[in-house]
């Protein structure tokens, strides 16, 4: 449809039709068995609203979508099709590694590929919008939702945000295999106080703009069709009512013309924040902040009608919001093709196809991080006598939090299946060792999860594991967080592995000193004790549908782990929030050894820092150089470095470039990622890696809050990870 036709359509719509567009209905309305991602509030939806409702959440069955759409178009006075939305966080039917792990790939092409694969499954299943990517900057591992983002760094998050939007949306949203993205949660949800779920945020304007907002902007600039508000308040103002971030920044500064949706029930959330209990008051805040759709509660419907009747808002405000939604529907080609590519027969071919599974498999080693590899314990040699121990050994669920389709939670192969099928050998010994959780876990009260209650059974399992470990040359222990303790409502104050598993680890590591840990986790954990005792630690996060095959092939060296940490691991939970590149202080160890910043019982730096990760070969850096000593506006600085593969295998190295603005009108981070490049280097080969920078790259919010660079010294660091001290200076002119 041409824009003029859309405007004509808008002019023709009644006010009730318009308000219908601004509301979304939960899928449970159409089928009670639908997955609920919030309270079921379908009772708030009168028939007259449903007739003109603009969108639905959580319906993902293509046949049902076609049926609903057909009836809806028939009944709607202007036959306007609905939008169908769903949380597709790391794949729909095929599950890929969790987003935090995807961040570890340091490979935007991979993120694009995985998002595009997810879009293909979603599109054929009849869906139009995914509530992804989540690009909240995350620096506190207590927050359960860190698994949904790409971690602690602004630049990495921004690059990955763009890649995800491009992957979901393709070049043209009318094309088959595409869906609209919805970037979330605007804004700064990752900065919730103490990592507490649904908590508040208090953040300076500088911190917000400098570190938290750029990833959302990157997604908007990449053309994300939608954006979601966040549950949190910022400085006491709920995001959904926040005119400053929504109107001033998002709409006016960034010129974002896409659709803004609240988070699930955000208007009610504002009531809980103590703003008002009245639908109209809450709705007035939201519409004035240019919020277009209310997700699933139906309060906007009540509120907006009253506001219009009382003349408190203008019809133009409603029109602007409706037009944005109609434009998205048009961008998706829905007016010409209301069912788009929904096709249940084709869905059976595409979803979880061999090709999808291959894509999922290839992602596993690229997202896994080898944190430690003493004595080159990994890869395993086939003739070694190896014991595989741990509750993840026979687990069929390696999907982690928020898989697209819960139906497939326990359908995939386990690590044990893969070893027995693909590595048939008499040398291998197996013991489960323990269940994932013991009865003492406090979280069991909040989550209905299975656990070990019987002490005798617990002892017997550990004894069997000890027996097996004593006979082995090496022990591979598969340990970690429960696969359902990641994502929304999973914040924790204890970020160690469950106690029952720690007991198992302690018992096994007492009788065998060659322990290799394969770690399953949604967030950086406190693994300080494990790290002190294990020879190797391979962090596989939650690797998805092909996790087991990916892990076993990696352990035996068919593939090498090539991921780097997208979020730092703390020494202990008390060190959270922790991230690399803290702001400098006078009390640094260089200045004094008494009045130093940090703690007296823990180092300042994390246990494993951002960007760290090993692989099965080694690299040597040399000939680091800058092509000039000064850099003026419109000039380009070339940074070059040679990287040699000095190990015994071909491999990938992620070369990282950081900078520090030595003196500026405001305090600047001790180190900030500015570029990275993942390069494949053959054994014995040297590659020259080049980076190009301009003064644009050194802009920041200065003393007067202007975004600009300042003349003076910039230190450029190059190296393997954020701990690198290899640096050279350039003078900005
Ligand atoms: C609430 C979550 O915060 C959000 O991320 C999600 O997209 C919605 N529920 C819908 O499920």
Ligand 1 atom closest to the Cα of residue 131 is: 7
Whether ligand 1 lies within 6 angstroms of the CB of 197 is answered as no
Gap between the Cα atoms of 93 and 114, Å rounded: 12
Residue 659 pairs in a beta bridge with: 672, 716
Gap between the Cα atoms of 6 and 323, Å rounded: 8
Nearest CA to ligand 1 atom 7: 131
Ligand 1 centroid – CA 693 distance (Å)? 38
Q: What is the mean pLDDT of residues 315-331?
A: 98
Query: Do residues 145 and 487 lie in contact, with contact meaning Cβ atoms separated by under 8 Å?
Result: yes
Ligand 1 atom closest to the Cα of residue 189 is: 3
- Which two three-digit tokens encode residue 524? 């950086």
Which of 127, 181, 26 has the alpha carbon at shortest distance from 339?
A: 127
Gap between the Cα atoms of 666 and 705, Å rounded: 10
Query: Do residues 400 and 539 lie in contact, with contact meaning Cβ atoms separated by under 8 Å?
Result: no
State the first-to-last Cα distance of the chain, in angstroms, to the nearest integer.
Answer: 51
Ligand 1 atom closest to the Cα of residue 58 is: 11
Using CB atoms within 10 Å of the CB of residue 630, give its burial: 0 to 12 exposed, 13 to 18 middle, 19+ buried: exposed
Nearest CA to ligand 1 atom 8: 264
Query: Could you tell which of 36, 59, 87 is best to mutate to test the pocket of ligand 1, judged by most ligand atoms within 8 Å of the CB?
Result: 87
Who has greater pLDDT, 589 or 136? 136
pLDDT at 16: 95
Pick the CATH number of 364-561 from 1.10.3720.10, 3.40.50.1700, 3.40.50.2300, 3.40.50.300: 3.40.50.1700
Query: Do residues 526 and 572 lie in contact, with contact meaning Cβ atoms separated by under 8 Å?
Result: yes
- Which two three-digit tokens encode residue 485? 């303790």
Query: Do residues 56 and 82 lie in contact, with contact meaning Cβ atoms separated by under 8 Å?
Result: yes
Ligand 1 centroid – CA 257 distance (Å)? 22
Whether ligand 1 lies within 6 angstroms of the CB of 38 is answered as yes
Nearest CA to ligand 1 atom 9: 264
pLDDT at 195: 97
pLDDT at 41: 74
| DSSP state, residue 96 | P
Least confident of 23-37, 637-651, 663-677: 23-37
Q: Within 10 Å of residue 200's Cβ, how many Cβ atoms? A: 17
Give residue 21's pLDDT band: very low, low, confident or very high (50, 70, 90): very high
Q: Which residue has the tokens 């919805």?
A: 182
Residue 229 has pLDDT above 90, yes or no: yes
| DSSP state, residue 101 | H
Whether ligand 1 lies within 6 angstroms of the CB of 292 is answered as no
Residue 75 has pLDDT above 70, yes or no: yes
Query: Do residues 79 and 73 lie in contact, with contact meaning Cβ atoms separated by under 8 Å?
Result: yes
On average, the pLDDT of the chain sits at 96
Which of 180, 295, 188 has the alpha carbon at shortest distance from 232?
A: 188
Residues of the chain with CATH 3.40.50.1700: 364-561
Whether ligand 1 lies within 6 angstroms of the CB of 223 is answered as no
Q: What is the mean pLDDT of residues 153-159?
A: 98
Whether ligand 1 lies within 6 angstroms of the CB of 184 is answered as yes
Ligand 1 atom closest to the Cα of residue 134 is: 5
Residue 43 has pLDDT above 90, yes or no: no
pLDDT at 425: 75
Catalytic (active site) residue 473: no
pLDDT digits (tens, 9 = 90+) for 337-387: 999 999 999 999 999 999 999 999 999 999 999 999 999 999 999 889 999
Residues with Cβ < 8 Å from 556, sequence gap 6 or more?
A: 379, 380, 382, 423
Whether ligand 1 lies within 6 angstroms of the CB of 264 is answered as yes
Nearest CA to ligand 1 atom 1: 264
Ligand 1 centroid – CA 448 distance (Å)? 20
pLDDT at 40: 72
Query: Could you tell which of 37, 40, 187, 260 is best to mutate to test the pocket of ligand 1, judged by most ligand atoms within 8 Å of the CB?
Result: 37
Q: Judge: domain 619-732, CATH 2.60.40.10.
A: yes
Ligand 1 atom closest to the Cα of residue 38 is: 9
Catalytic residue among 61, 140, 153, 263: 263
pLDDT at 662: 96
Whether ligand 1 lies within 6 angstroms of the CB of 35 is answered as no
Query: Could you tell which of 265, 295, 403, 486 is best to mutate to test the pocket of ligand 1, judged by most ligand atoms within 8 Å of the CB?
Result: 295
| DSSP state, residue 23 | B
Q: Which residue has the tokens 């990287």?
A: 643
Instruction: Give all strands of the β-sheet with 651-661 in edge-to-edge order.
Output: 630-631, 727-732, 712-719, 651-661, 672-681
Gap between the Cα atoms of 318 and 300, Å rounded: 11
pLDDT at 221: 98
Give residue 591's pLDDT band: very low, low, confident or very high (50, 70, 90): low
pLDDT at 515: 98
Ligand 1 centroid – CA 503 distance (Å)? 36
Residue 589 has pLDDT above 70, yes or no: no
Whether ligand 1 lies within 6 angstroms of the CB of 136 is answered as no
| DSSP state, residue 107 | -
Check the CA dihedral 114-115-116-120 and report its sign: positive
Helix (H, G, I), strand (E, B) or coil at 560: coil
Ordered alpha helix ranges (H), 42-134 = 47-51, 62-75, 99-104, 108-124
User: Do strands 619-626 and 637-645 pair parallel, antiparallel, or not at all (unpaired)?
Assistant: antiparallel
Whether ligand 1 lies within 6 angstroms of the CB of 488 is answered as yes
Give residue 294's pLDDT band: very low, low, confident or very high (50, 70, 90): very high
Least confident of 205-214, 274-283, 405-414, 621-630: 405-414
Residue ranges with strand state E in 347-480: 369-373, 386-389, 429-431, 474-480
Ligand 1 atom closest to the Cα of residue 184 is: 5
Whether ligand 1 lies within 6 angstroms of the CB of 37 is answered as yes
| DSSP state, residue 35 | P
- Which two three-digit tokens encode residue 246? 């929504």
Gap between the Cα atoms of 66 and 338, Å rounded: 9
Q: Residue 360 belongs to what H/E stretch? A: helix 354-367
Residue 298 has pLDDT above 80, yes or no: yes
- Which two three-digit tokens encode residue 604? 């300042």
Ligand 1 centroid – CA 498 distance (Å)? 27
pLDDT digits (tens, 9 = 90+) for 607-639: 999 999 999 999 999 999 999 999 999 999 999
Residues with Cβ < 8 Å from 79, sequence gap 6 or more?
A: 73
Q: What is the mean pLDDT of residues 703-722?
A: 98
Ligand 1 centroid – CA 370 distance (Å)? 32
Calculate helix-pair angle for 108-124, 354-367, nearest 10 degrees: 150
Residue 590 has pLDDT above 70, yes or no: no
Helices (H) and strands (E) in the chain, counts: 21, 25
Q: What is the mean pLDDT of residues 689-708?
A: 98
Cα 658 from chain centre: 22
Residues of the chain with CATH 2.60.40.10: 619-732
Query: Could you tell which of 263, 294, 404 is best to mutate to test the pocket of ligand 1, judged by most ligand atoms within 8 Å of the CB?
Result: 263
Q: Within 10 Å of residue 268's Cβ, how many Cβ atoms? A: 21
Gap between the Cα atoms of 467 and 33, Å rounded: 46
Give residue 206's pLDDT band: very low, low, confident or very high (50, 70, 90): very high
In this structure, the dihedral spanned by the alpha carbons of residues 510, 511, 514 and 517, taken in order and rounded to 10 degrees, is: -60
Give residue 424's pLDDT band: very low, low, confident or very high (50, 70, 90): confident
Whether ligand 1 lies within 6 angstroms of the CB of 263 is answered as yes
Query: Do residues 484 and 448 lie in contact, with contact meaning Cβ atoms separated by under 8 Å?
Result: no
Ligand 1 atom closest to the Cα of residue 296 is: 10
For the chain, the farthest-separated pair of C-alpha atoms sits apart, in whole angstroms, at: 80
Report if pTM > 0.95.
Answer: yes
Ligand 1 centroid – CA 486 distance (Å)? 14
pLDDT digits (tens, 9 = 90+) for 445-462: 888 899 998 999 999 999
| DSSP state, residue 82 | P
Whether ligand 1 lies within 6 angstroms of the CB of 279 is answered as no
Whether ligand 1 lies within 6 angstroms of the CB of 569 is answered as no
Proportion of the chain above pLDDT 90, given as a percent: 92
């Amino acid at each position: 449809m041409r824009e003029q036709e859309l405007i004509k359509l808008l002019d023709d719509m009644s006010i009730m039709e318009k308000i219908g567009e601004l509301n979304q209905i939960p899928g449970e309305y159409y089928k009670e068995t639908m997955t609920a991602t919030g309270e079921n509030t379908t009772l708030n939806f009168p028939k007259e609203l449903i007739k003109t409702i603009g969108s639905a959440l959580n319906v993902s069955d293509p046949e049902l979508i076609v049926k609903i759409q057909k009836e809806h178009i028939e009944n709607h006075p202007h036959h306007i099709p609905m939008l169908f939305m769903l949380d597709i966080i790391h794949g729909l039917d095929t599950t890929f590694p969790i987003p935090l792990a995807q961040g570890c790939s340091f490979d935007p092409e991979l993120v694009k590929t995985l998002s595009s694969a997810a879009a293909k499954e979603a599109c054929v299943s009849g869906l139009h919008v995914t509530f992804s990517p989540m690009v909240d900057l995350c620096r506190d591992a207590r927050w359960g939702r860190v698994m949904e983002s790409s971690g602690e760094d602004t630049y990495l998050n921004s690059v990955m945000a763009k890649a995800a939007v491009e992957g979901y949306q393709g070049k043209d949203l009318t094309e088959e295999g595409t869906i609209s993205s919805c970037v979330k949660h605007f804004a700064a949800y990752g900065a919730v106080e103490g990592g507490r779920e649904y908590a508040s945020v208090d953040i300076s304007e500088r911190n917000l703009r400098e570190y938290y907002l750029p990833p959302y902007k990157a997604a908007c600039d990449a053309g994300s069709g939608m954006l979601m508000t966040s549950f949190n308040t910022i400085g006491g103002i709920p995001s959904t009512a926040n005119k400053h971030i929504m109107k001033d920044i998002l709409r006016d500064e960034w010129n974002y013309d896409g659709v803004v949706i609240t988070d699930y029930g955000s208007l009610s959330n504002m009531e809980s924040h103590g703003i008002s209990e009245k639908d109209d008051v809450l709705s007035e805040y939201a519409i004035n902040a240019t919020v277009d759709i209310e997700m699933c509660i139906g309060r906007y419907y009540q509120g907006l009608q009253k506001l219009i009747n009382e003349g408190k808002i203008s019809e133009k405000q409603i029109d602007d919001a409706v037009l944005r939604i109609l434009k998205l529907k048009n961008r998706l080609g829905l007016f010409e093709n209301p069912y788009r590519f929904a096709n249940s027969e084709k869905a059976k071919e595409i979803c979880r196809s061999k090709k999808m599974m291959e894509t999922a498999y290839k992602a596993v080693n690229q997202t896994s991080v080898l944190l430690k590899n003493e004595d080159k314990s990994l890869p395993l040699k086939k003739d070694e006598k190896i014991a595989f121990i741990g509750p993840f050994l026979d687990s069929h669920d390696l999907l982690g939090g928020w898989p697209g389709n819960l139906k497939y939670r326990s359908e995939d192969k386990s690590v044990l299946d893969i070893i027995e099928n693909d590595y048939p050998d008499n040398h291998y010994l197996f013991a489960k060792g323990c269940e994932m959780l013991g009865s003492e876990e406090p979280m069991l009260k909040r989550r209905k999860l299975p656990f070990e209650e019987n002490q005798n059974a617990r002892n017997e399992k550990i004894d069997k594991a000890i027996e097996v470990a004593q006979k082995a040359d090496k022990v591979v222990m598969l340990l970690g967080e429960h696969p359902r303790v990641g994502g929304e409502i999973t914040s924790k104050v204890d970020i160690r592995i469950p106690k029952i598993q720690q007991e198992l680890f302690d018992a096994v590591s007492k009788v065998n000193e060659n322990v290799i840990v394969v770690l399953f986790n949604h967030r950086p954990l406190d693994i300080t004790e494990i790290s002190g005792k294990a020879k190797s630690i391979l962090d596989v996060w939650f690797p998805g549908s092909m996790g087991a095959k990916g892990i076993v092939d990696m352990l035996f060296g068919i593939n090498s782990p090539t991921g780097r940490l997208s979020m730092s691991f703390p020494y202990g939970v008390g060190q959270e929030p922790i991230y690399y590149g803290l702001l400098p202080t006078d009390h640094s160890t260089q200045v004094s050894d008494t009045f130093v910043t940090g703690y007296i019982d823990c180092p300042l730096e994390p246990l494993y820092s951002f960007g760290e990760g090993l692989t099965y070969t080694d690299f040597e850096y040399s000939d680091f150089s800058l092509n000039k000593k000064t850099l003026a506006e419109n000039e380009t600085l070339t940074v070059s470095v040679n990287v040699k593969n000095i190990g015994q295998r071909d491999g990938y190295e992620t070369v990282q470039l950081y900078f520090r603005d030595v003196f500026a009108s405001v305090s600047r981070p001790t180190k900030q990622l500015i570029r990275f490049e993942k390069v494949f280097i053959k054994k014995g080969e040297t590659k020259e890696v080049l980076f190009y920078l301009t003064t644009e790259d050194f802009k920041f919010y200065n003393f007067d809050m202007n975004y600009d660079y300042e003349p003076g010294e910039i230190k450029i660091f190059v190296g393997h990870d954020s701990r690198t001290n290899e640096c050279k200076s350039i003078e900005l002119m």
